[in-house]
Amino acid sequence: MEVKVHEISAAELTLEEAFEIAAGQYKLKLSADAEARMQKCRAYLDQKIETSSEPVYGVNTGFGSLYNKNISKADLTKLQENLVMSHACGTGNEVPEEVVRLMLILKIQSLAYGYSGVQLDTVNRLVDFFNEGIYPIVYEMGSLGASGDLAPLAHLCLPLIGHGEVSYKGKRYSGSELNALMGWDSIKFRAKEGLALLNGTQLMSAYGLYASIHASKLFNWANKIGALSIDAFDGRIEPFKAKVHEIRPHKGQLHVANEISSILESSEIIKQPKKHVQDPYSFRCIPQVHGASFEAINYVQQVFKVEINGVTDNPNVFPDDDEIISAGNFHGQPLALSLDFLTLALAELGNISERRTYQLISGSRELPNYLVANPGINSGLMIPQYTAASLVSQNKQYCTPASSDSIVSSNGQEDHVSMGANAAIKSYKVIQNLYAILGIELITASQAISFRRPLKTSTILEDLISNFREVVPFIEEDRVLYKDIDAAIDFLKAN
């Protein structure tokens, strides 16, 4: 497979580009402009340290509530190394490698703007990690989402100084073992570097970027699978007519109604006379429910597009203005609120999906109970709905907003935090659950369509069923179903 090169520069990075770089066969390279920016900033900072005795937070002072402790010039390197080691306090599950890859890209991107004062060698080592497939072991829990993602980013950067652990070619190495294996020397931090690496929102941003891309994918699947369920349930098309939505013109609602109508346009089932005058809300209100989630997803994606193109460490160094400003760009409040919003929007796609699954197995609309020809001796699709209900219930619990909480830290200096990292972890879990919920609906709707034969659904949906049947065959009689659910999840993720 061809290896492509992405040049890190000040140019805007889209969510799709960043995701593609992380997921594909890409190498990273710093642009000449990025290198010049970083070298200029570092030279300014070094000159400032040599010629001024003025205290600058995190450069020649302690951290957090220890900001009033001055540090001698001889101890500035040790100060930064101690910072990274002492802040590596993560726990819980390991962050998936697909997210760690995004963290590396976003950390490099943020530092490359030239407002952080890092050495070029330090950033190039992070580039080497990405290019060589070296993924630091990072843990989910430990970040409060203000002062950035301190603990996770400490784990991300520990291997730079020969500590921590990495995954490389399927094996686990300590930071010192990695350096020996690669023939590298440990990075020797200079003033401010450890703080620049640890202050930042890259855990929240990486999860948010992952969630934003998968949200679009899941939204599209929810519409397509929802349309299949409408036909499987012998539903009506009238609730999707444009005139209905033009008199309540929410953009998401209009978009979904149009998409469902387009998907079902060539269906024989949707055109046949109906015995019922209306459908349950889980079918009839797809435009209103899916459409609201669509608008939420679009909003969140705009927030993260801004974030991944920003500088989020502290203090910020402005060489041209001869200023070093201690501020709060590491605060994750915009991300925390957005991640909570996105989690709720995705959970609702699962909530309404499970209701459609329930309706399809209920024995209504001339469909057999649990969608098997001989119910009784066969339980059919009775229990997958239980699984979907369990996942939906868990998602509802994950919808409790992390951003509504704040716990004082650093002896009162950091007295309001975003809890955005917890919001980020929840979004990832809801996404995995939603793939399973929609996979179960796809199994159910595909099974139900078979009982509508010889009538056909639309060309789009017949193609979907045909492709899906290659991995999940029609259920003639009871079989072990967890394998079908796993296959359905893999199908949704791969297509």
**Residue 414 is among the residues annotated as catalytic for this protein:** yes
* Tens digits of residue pLDDT in 275-331: 999 999 999 999 999 999 999 999 999 999 999 999 999 999 999 999 999 999 999
Per the CB < 8 A criterion, the answer to whether 1 and 24 are in contact is no
- DSSP, collapsed to helix, strand or coil, labels residue 439 as helix
Pairwise CA distance, residues 311 & 205, whole Å: 12
Pairwise CA distance, residues 103 & 467, whole Å: 35
Of the listed 6, 236, 250, 284, which one is catalytic?
284
Q: What is the pLDDT of residue 51?
A: 84
User: Quick one: how far is CA 303 from the chain centroid?
Assistant: 13
* Residue 157 identity: C
Mean per-residue pLDDT pooled into runs of 10, the chain (495 residues)? 89 95 93 97 91 75 67 80 94 97 98 96 98 98 94 98 97 98 95 93 98 98 98 98 97 98 98 96 98 98 97 95 94 97 98 98 95 86 97 98 94 91 98 98 98 97 98 95 98 97
User: What are the residue ranges of helices labelled H in 67-201?
Assistant: 76-87, 97-111, 120-132, 150-157, 175-182, 193-198
Q: Residue 394: CB partners within 8 Å, gap ≥ 6?
A: 429, 433
Q: Left, alpha or beta for 383 (phi > 0: left; psi -120 to 50: alpha)?
A: alpha
Of the listed 98, 172, 281, 386, which one is catalytic?
281
**Residue 26 is among the residues annotated as catalytic for this protein:** no
Pairwise CA distance, residues 209 & 14, whole Å: 10
Q: What is the pLDDT of residue 58?
A: 66
CATH 1.10.150.120 corresponds to the domain 4-200: no
* Tens digits of residue pLDDT in 374-419: 878 889 999 999 999 999 999 999 999 999 999 999 888 888 999 9
Q: What is the pLDDT of residue 375?
A: 78
The CATH classification number of 213-494 equals 1.20.200.10
**Residue 87 is among the residues annotated as catalytic for this protein:** yes
4-200 and 213-494: identical CATH topology: no
**Residue 433 is among the residues annotated as catalytic for this protein:** no
Pairwise CA distance, residues 400 & 383, whole Å: 27
**Residue 284 is among the residues annotated as catalytic for this protein:** yes
**Domain segments of the chain: what residues?**
4-200, 213-494
Of the listed 314, 414, 433, 435, which one is catalytic?
414
Q: What is the pLDDT of residue 75?
A: 78
Q: What is the pLDDT of residue 1?
A: 64
**Residue 57 is among the residues annotated as catalytic for this protein:** yes
Pairwise CA distance, residues 296 & 182, whole Å: 45
Q: What is the pLDDT of residue 65?
A: 60
First to last CA, the chain: 20
Peptide bond into 315 cis (omega under 30): yes
* Tens digits of residue pLDDT in 449-459: 999 999 999 99
